Amino acid sequence: MSGPRNAEDRLRRLLVMLPWLMEVGEAPLADVARRFNLSEAQVQGDLELVAMCGLPPFVDEMVDVFVDDGMVFVGVPRLFTRPLRLTAPEAFSLLTSARTAMELPGADRAGALGRGLAKLAAVLADAGIDTEPQGDDTAGVVVDLARPELTDELAKAAAAGHELAIGYYSPARDEMTRRTIQPRHVFADAGHWYALADDGRSQQRRTFRIDRIESIEMTGRSFDIESVGPPERFFDDPDVARATIRLAPPAHWVLDQYPVDDVADQGDGWVEVRLPVSSERWLAKLLIRLGPDAVLVDAAGDNPAVATARRMLDRYDERLR
Amino acid sequence: MVDRIERLTNLLALLLETSRPLSLVEIAGDLVGQYPENERSRRASFERDKAALRDIGVPIETEMVTGGPYSGQTTYRIDRRAYELTDLDLTPDEMRALQVAVAAVRSEPGQHAIWKLGGALDDERPAVSAVIPERPELPAIRTAVASRAPIEFSYRGDDRKLDPWGLLLRGGFWYVIGHDHARNERRTFRVDRFDRAGEGGADTVRVGASASFDRPPSFDPRTAFPADPKQIGHGAEESIDALVSISALRSGAVERELGSDRVVERHDDGSVVVSVPAGNLAAFRSWVLGLLDHAVVESPEDIRQHLIDWLTDVVEPDPETMRR
């Protein structure tokens, strides 16, 4: 449910709500609220306000709508009978969503989604977004959500409520673990695929990176499926520790690869960045990959890269013996 | 003074209903008591309302009056045909499929589009979803790609002119790939790294004339931008493969990533030796180091030594670097 809304947001929502109400004539207030993601009080308030709008000589008659006993009624429609055309961001977003859905596991490319997508060309042109003359613009815009093989099996298990036994490489502990999981949701974010699952080992809901899952077996047990969305992104969490690092020009790819809070130009090509650190091991790995092109300025603990690099050098020494 | 949403709604209704373009004086006259009396504050309030309506996508047309007593005044109206959504005749299953698609991406502008097309909020959360970054520059770039129009933008302080051949979402970022005029070669740019220009970023991307270039017929954004950074800058003639030992713990993941044909040795303890392209040394090094102590380069000797030197430098940094 939305928080406080400004006049623009309210009008934007009204302009999609009114044509729909005029189409159906009447509807329970609760249904209208759910359909348009508002509270009942918000719907009622906005409709009562718009009912007072009017122009001479039709004062108070422009939008004939009233709410009575939990029902919304619409009289003779005069204005706002048709929705406003799509804005360019809406049209782009709709198109990208449809194309993204085509790339998700289980997509039926030739089915209803593909047919719906094909019909969008007309509204896109109205929104000022040209499509390719041939109607097929696969060369022009590509959504690449390449996924690990096991993704489809996890998605099926989440949809069907099948419990799984998995072998999972835990990067924080650097070991292979066996777990029983109940997958709830499968999602792609920032170039990786994840499964959100109830983890039998920790008794908690955890996010697993699918490319770290070594094996999957069905346990034969089922669980009740419930509607679960993806979790909030961990790096937006202010409780996640931060580190400050200076980066030479060859290390500037870090800015492209990872979320960063701040970037400050140091002159002479170096930049200082503050970024969220998911674990000490992750920070060690980053610093080792960057080598002389990075200097750790500030972190929660000691520089974890030194001890890790020593261990790696030991492995090179082993080979000489 | 009335509630702002009431005034906005009345203004919208007036401009939709009017049979001829109206000046601000006429508008204020029709919307009695809704705009301030004072001319300057009236103009300011009206401009704010006009911007708000345009912001939600209302096409307000302006016209300058020439001749007559009102010569020089600006007049306003909304063309109903431009305002109204074209009917798409989506079948219920097509509507539903688009609704599910938008729910899977959790896009707010996409949800508004669904409402306008007559769909609902999909309250069933799909079992699969994807986070797709939204950038205000994308609609303009997409249009430029489709209409073959060059784009101009500033990228990390440099002005660029590009014939955009394609947009690619990969690894969670949007890239535009095309022909860079000044450098006269193919370049790839990350859209969220464009320098923002103008109010609200409105001038970040400037689109030039349509039909200005031809995209190479064989162009495909998927292959134009190597998915594997180890392959970047790596021509066939300079192909160098390195042998790398991978410990048992990571061997499965590495084999899945590279493919089984890259495994040259398998040991009883589960470890493997893989052959990995090392033509791009920086990318190769980054990949090997990412596996930490689960990967050791066996050969060639110069690359192995390079890794040892690199790690030694992390343990005992060069004092020159330390002073930074």
> What's the CATH number where B13 sits?
1.10.10.10
> Is residue B104 in some structural domain?
yes
Mark out the alpha helices in chain A (DSSP H runs): 7-24, 29-35, 40-51, 88-103, 112-119, 121-126, 151-160, 253-257, 280-290, 305-320
Residue A242 scores a pLDDT above 70: yes
- Same-domain check for residues B161 and B205: yes
- Same-domain check for residues B78 and B91: no
Q: Model confidence over A184-216: pLDDT tens digits?
A: 999 998 888 999 999 988 888 888 999 999 999
The A residues from 2 to 41 touching B (CB cutoff 8 Å) are: 7-8, 10-12, 14-17, 20, 23, 34-37
The mean pLDDT of chain A is: 85
DSSP characters over A179-211 = EEEEEEEEEEETTEEEEEEEETTTTEEEEEEGG
- Same-domain check for residues B233 and B220: no
> Is residue B324 in some structural domain?
no
Residue A91 scores a pLDDT above 90: no
Q: Find, in chain A, the residue whose alpha carbon is nearest to that of B219.
A: A139
Query: Of B224, B253, B283, which closes a domain?
Result: B224
Convert B176-211 to b/e letters by CB count within 10 Å (16 or more is b): bbbbbeeeeebbebebeebeeeeeeeeebbeebeee
Give the range among A18-32, A296-310, B71-85, B229-243 with minimum mean pLDDT.
B229-243
Please give the residue range of the domain that contains residue B98: 86-132
Query: Of B132, B155, B190, which closes a domain?
Result: B132
Which residue segments constitute the domains of chain A, with CATH numbers given? 7-74 (1.10.10), 151-231 (2.30.30), 236-317 (3.30.70)
Interchain pair A85, B83: CB under 8 A: yes
The CA R_g of chain A, rounded to the nearest whole Å, is 27
> Is residue B265 in some structural domain?
yes
Residue A160 scores a pLDDT above 50: yes
The nearest CA of chain A is from the CA of B267 a distance in Å of 15
What's residue B243's pLDDT?
Answer: 95
- Same-domain check for residues B76 and B90: no
Residue B324 scores a pLDDT above 60: no
**CA–CA distance, A46 with A50 (Å, rounded to integer):** 6
Residue A262 scores a pLDDT above 60: yes
Residue B45 scores a pLDDT above 90: yes
Query: Of B160, B189, B224, which closes a domain?
Result: B224
Q: What is the mean pLDDT of residues B279-305?
A: 90
> Is residue B321 in some structural domain?
no
Q: Name chain A contacts of B83, Cβ cutoff 8 Å.
A: 82, 84-85
What's residue A227's pLDDT?
Answer: 74
Q: Which residues pair with B41 in a beta bridge?
A: none
Query: What is the Cβ-side half-sphere exposure of residue B1, based on CA atoms within 13 angstroms?
Result: 9
The mean pLDDT of chain B is: 86
Interchain pair B252, A319: CB under 8 A: no
Of the partner residues B5, B32, B308, the one whose CB lies closest to the CB of residue A10: B5
Interchain pair B257, A115: CB under 8 A: no
Best probe of the B interface among A23, A96, A162, by most B CBs < 10 A, is A96
Interchain pair A139, B221: CB under 8 A: yes
> Is residue B302 in some structural domain?
yes
- Same-domain check for residues B272 and B233: yes
Q: What is the pLDDT confidence band of residue A246, given thresholds at 50, 70 and 90?
A: very high
What's residue A137's pLDDT?
Answer: 53
Q: How far is CA A236 from CA A241, A258, A305, B109, B271, in A?
A: 11, 12, 24, 22, 37
Q: Model confidence over B82-96: pLDDT tens digits?
A: 999 988 889 989 999
Question: Is A71 in the B-facing interface, judged by CB distances under 8 Å?
Answer: no
Best probe of the A interface among B1, B296, B314, B323, by most A CBs < 10 A, is B314
Q: How far is CA A228 from CA A197, A225, B128, in A?
A: 10, 9, 10
CATH value at residue B253: 3.30.70
- Same-domain check for residues B95 and B70: no
Q: What count of CB pairs under 8 Å joins A to B?
A: 357
> Is residue B114 in some structural domain?
yes
Convert A288-299 to b/e letters by CB count within 10 Å (16 or more is b): bbbbebbbbeeb
Q: What is the pLDDT confidence band of residue A141, given thresholds at 50, 70 and 90?
A: confident
Strands A175-189 and B128-130 come out as parallel
Interchain pair A155, B127: CB under 8 A: yes
Q: Model confidence over B220-253: pLDDT tens digits?
A: 888 776 555 554 444 444 568 899 999 999 999 8
Count of domains observed in chain B: 4
Nearest alpha carbon to residue B104 among A89, A96, A93, A97 = A97
- ipTM, 2 dp: 0.79
What's residue B230's pLDDT?
Answer: 54
**CA–CA distance, B30 with B24 (Å, rounded to integer):** 10
Residue B158 scores a pLDDT above 60: yes
> Is residue B320 in some structural domain?
no
- Same-domain check for residues B282 and B205: no
What's residue A308's pLDDT?
Answer: 93
What's residue B232's pLDDT?
Answer: 44
Q: Model confidence over A96-129: pLDDT tens digits?
A: 898 899 888 888 778 898 888 888 877 777 777 7
Would the CA dihedral through B280, B180, A190, A103 be positive or negative? negative
Query: Does A183 or A6 have the greater pLDDT score?
Result: A183
What's residue B321's pLDDT?
Answer: 54
- Same-domain check for residues B233 and B209: no
In this prediction, what percent of chain B has a pLDDT beyond 90? 45
Strands A294-298 and A242-247 come out as antiparallel
> Is residue B281 in some structural domain?
yes
Residue A315 scores a pLDDT above 50: yes
Q: What is the pLDDT confidence band of residue B291, given thresholds at 50, 70 and 90?
A: very high
Interchain pair A12, B94: CB under 8 A: no
Give the range among A56-65, B119-128, B175-184 with minimum mean pLDDT.
A56-65
Q: Model confidence over A50-89: pLDDT tens digits?
A: 888 877 665 556 778 889 889 999 887 778 888 999 988 8
What's residue A1's pLDDT?
Answer: 43
Q: What is the mean pLDDT of residues B69-77?
A: 88
Strands B74-78 and A294-298 come out as unpaired
